[in-house]
C-alpha cells in the first residue's frame, strides 16, 4: 500500500453503501450480464458486452468478435458515486479491510449455535 492519508480512507468508507462495502470487503464484484450490443460498420461487426455489479452498480465492458474471440480485456468504466478512494488516500489497509468484512457480516442475518452442546 502506498503511504497516504488514512483520514481520507476513513472519510470515504463512512459514505459507502452496504453494496459498496460488500464489494470492497470481498475484494471483487459479483458481475451479472447487463446488455449486449452489436456494432456494425463497413470495417466489420463486433459485440459489446456489458456487465453490472448488482451490489455496488459498477459497470464493465468488453468487445468480442462475431466469431466469439475476445478483442479487448474487461474495462471498468463506471463506478458508483464515492466508490473509488480519493487521490492521496494511499488505499485500504488490512485494518480497513477487516473493518469492512465485519461490517459486511453484521449486515447479514446471523445465526448463533452452541458448538459445546450435542
The residue count of the chain comes to 118
Which parts of the chain have pLDDT scores under 70? 1-3, 118
The ranges assigned to domains in the chain are: 6-104
pLDDT at 3 (0 to 100): 64
pLDDT at 34 (0 to 100): 97
pLDDT at 39 (0 to 100): 96
In the structure grid, which three cell numbers stand for residue 2, read together?
Answer: 502506498
Q: How far apart are CA 93 and CA 100, in angstroms?
A: 11
Instruction: For the full predicted model, state whether its pTM sits above 0.85.
Output: no
CA–CA distance from 69 to each of 28, 31, 63, 74 (Å)?
25, 20, 9, 13
pLDDT at 58 (0 to 100): 96
Average pLDDT of the chain to the nearest whole number: 91
In the structure grid, which three cell numbers stand for residue 3, read together?
Answer: 503511504
Contact between 70 and 63 under an 8 Å Cβ cutoff? The reply is: yes
Architecture of the CATH domain 6-104: 2-Layer Sandwich (3.30)
Amino acid at each position: 500500500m502506498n503511504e497516504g492519508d488514512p483520514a481520507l480512507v476513513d472519510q470515504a468508507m463512512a459514505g459507502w453503501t452496504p453494496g459498496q462495502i460488500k464489494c470492497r470487503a470481498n475484494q471483487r464484484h459479483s458481475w451479472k450480464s447487463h446488455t449486449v450490443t452489436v456494432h456494425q460498420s463497413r470495417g466489420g461487426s463486433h459485440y459489446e458486452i456489458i456487465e453490472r455489479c448488482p451490489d455496488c452498480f459498477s459497470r464493465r465492458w468488453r468487445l468480442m468478435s462475431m466469431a466469439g474471440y475476445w478483442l479487448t480485456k474487461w474495462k471498468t468504466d463506471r463506478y458508483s458515486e464515492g466508490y473509488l478512494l480519493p487521490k492521496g488516500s494511499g488505499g485500504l489497509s488490512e485494518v480497513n479491510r477487516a473493518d469492512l468484512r465485519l461490517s459486511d457480516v453484521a449486515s447479514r442475518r446471523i445465526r448463533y449455535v452452541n458448538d459445546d452442546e450435542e
